[in-house]
Chain A
Amino acid sequence: MSTDTPDASADDAPSRAELAARVDELEDALAEATGDGDGKKMSIIATKGTLDMAYPPLILASTAAAFGYEVTVFHTFWGLDILHEERSKNLKLSSVGNPNMPVPNAVAALPGMDRVTTRMMEKKIADNDTATIEELLETSLDMGVEFQACQMTIDLMDYDEDDFYDGVTTGVGAATALQDMADADIQLLV
């Protein structure tokens, strides 16, 4: 029986105005947390630089941008070549290691075979009106896709920051990529 408990809570109780302000604050936080579709994000890590493997990240990035996603593509190792203004125009298709190629690996390994298979693929791309890597990259940049070039691999490959397309972000590392992935609704490693 604590009849002597002092009724101190009346002084501590928040006022009506304070409660209303707190409710507004929480509603804003909830709206931000649940999102209304505006905040959709996609994070892609692009690690490959062959002609065939350069397509998936760019096709998905530009398409996601069309869906209204905020897209980040982090390029590392050979994936850097996709962002390299000069090298992106000369990406090669490997003739070895792919059993779906029309030539046996023993033949595919002969000097000059990569050039042959790359030309074959480039012709197919042109005949089929498939967008080129350069077109997809420029389009994605126009649509606001953020392309990041991994600083560690820029140094490793002896590339220069000026080698990349205008608009490419340099000076970023794994922590940046990880943060983007943590915030993203879709994360892909290509």
Chain B
Amino acid sequence: MSAEFDITETLDVKGASCPMPVVKAKSAIDELGAGDVLEVVATDPGSMSDIDGWASGTEGIELVDQEEGDDVYKHYVRKTE
């Protein structure tokens, strides 16, 4: 699915492993406003499950999309409130 959304900001966490992609994404999304979309670019394969779990288990954010590329995993998380 390639939903239509604008990326407000990109967070590069390439090289970082658990729990840093989620922890850094949290700090980054705190800086954004409602409706903004954060792109998280990671190389940690665990981030596919972790960012998904974080987005669904946390109030005020939602997972918009995830893309699995060649050793790069992209996540799009929207701040809803």
Interface on A for B, CB 8 Å cutoff? 36-38, 59, 62-63, 65-68, 128-131, 136, 139, 142-143
Contact = CB atoms under 8 A, between A and B. Distances in A.
Given A37-B59, A38-B59, A66 B16 contact: no
A67 B25 CA distance: 11
Interface in B29-80: 54, 57-60
Contacts, number: 42
28 contacts: A36-B59, A38-B59, A59-B18, A62-B19, A62-B23, A63-B19, A63-B22, A63-B54, A65-B23, A65-B26, A66-B19, A66-B22, A66-B54, A66-B58, A67-B54, A67-B58, A68-B58, A68-B59, A68-B60, A129-B15, A129-B16, A130-B17, A131-B19, A131-B20, A136-B19, A139-B23, A143-B23, A143-B27
Interface residues of B, number: 16
B26 A143 contact: yes
Nearest to A59: B19
